[in-house]
Chain A
């Protein structure tokens, strides 16, 4: 079989975790091949995340997950603005809905302290309603978590990935690993040979960040220790016209099994409810169910009664890579040059940069030599043009900045930014063209275009723009 690539390090998986690792490898000047079985970066389990920027206040103390979520949170404070990833620490209110739950609040506060998060504050019932006036009746009290926030699960992997590519990483899409062998390289040292559908990739070191497939890839590399049980989470999204109903992330008191269903704003100005938690055997079961949607609707109305009057604009399901263990499955086989990053659940969005730093340390312990970290070229997004315009880049998706069509300077610079195609989400023709023409990570299909621009993601669900966007995509596809 032909050789697709030959690198010092091969990273398997282009979810948010793989993207953060690839980005850090680029920052350290490491020769890296990056493999993804699917069609795009961030298109698997990452895109169906609950989009919460976790502080780690409620993590299981002493776990690697607790440590890496806290570290990932910290790194994102600087990197999110630099990468122009929408991220906002609006805070969370954890609400106790009965006396028994209220009794658990002190334990939650103590757990946050143990985790090194010291900003939590106990709220009495009146304070809960002062923070969230639209909350349904019956709150017994709560905990304020000021640093808990919101992230864009679409932009984060793409921005990390774009910076990795700008830093020299080579991405191979539709290159799922089918089997793996060990061989002797031309310099006489042992190396991996990863056989993919597009050819073989040789690498001294392999990082397995394959998400739902991480256990399978782990076995291909000759290791055991964990299995993935996909845990389905169904989510319901309400239109932006309902956004004002909630100010913070509204968390329930967690149970032993799940963190429970939250009601949260999104950085895109929507309102999200979920996730459910259903253990499944089928790693492709991303369907929503009548029962799941009914449970989400009930919960939405119980937490924020005014949501009974609002229409959902999307329902979707994601699969979390749950394992039989209570922690990430992150370990290195030093003599083989293999690092496994398995069982990264929904916290991966927040912890990805903590994981990347940890993985770099593990690779160094395996013998990888790398440069001191360098500044990667900035990867700016489109608009507002006055601030950071760079042609051929997708737009900023957060609702805290105007879209190019709203920005007089952007429209003056290019009339196509004033030509609105998706009216619900205010996406202009200029942005769609830019996302298709991005030299680093162009949109290749409708789903990719939606994640980069939000076209068609609004309340009309493509009634107005679907045909035109599809036609643009058909024309503009490379």
Chain B
């Protein structure tokens, strides 16, 4: 390898310094300059690394600062009050929190099993020549901006659900006690369930690609030993691959969960933006991010703005915990693979 091109290394090292023509005194000066330059660059890069921490600190500080008025006015009741009334300036966060959590749960319930099965397909069943194209296609799904999912959900997916799927679900579960409340009401098309389904499609690629990566990290010897005992492909996946990759898979799932919790645009289009908690999954609701996206620019008054920023703070705290847990688990997984 010739990283420095065709020129002799010494020339590259000294081309700016002119040391080749310098005498003893100049040589000391040049060395001094190089030393200073190195120290300067070292401090510059260190400052940039610290800037990353400053950005996070700035986000936390500005969110707390901005939400102080709301938190002072409502106190802890902000977390469990349902009222959201800009006219009387009564704000409570439980409806958006509920929507955020329920849509994310729906998304994970669908995306995790499907993602794991796709990862099984990619690592065990797929012929070699097909692995790369399918993997790339799944990752392209991850690259599509969320607003595209939103507009597609609004114009294609929600009407489809409204006309074909939801009436069927409502009549199917109409007589069953718990499910009838869960799937009650007129088929709006938009609502909590639709948002959860769109989120599932968005999160699927994340879960898939991380699961595939950790599945591939399983030592082939383990799998071959199990196959040698006569295990079926399913038994190898279920009893060898999955237990070995468990921590990594959970980390990947939580990373996907972090995305689902904070996703804004895809949800805003299809959730209906209704500040209430409804027993039915078909009813419109709202999430934290959708509320902020819909109302922030129209928020009049400091208290309203502050309440929205407080929502942002809650969202950030929730996702921070989930993402931190995910990273810690993936780090543990990597440490084991490395060691």
The reply to whether chain A is a binding partner of chain B is no
Q: Which residues of B are in contact with A by a Cβ distance under 8 Å? A: none
Q: Which residues of A are in contact with B by a Cβ distance under 8 Å? A: none
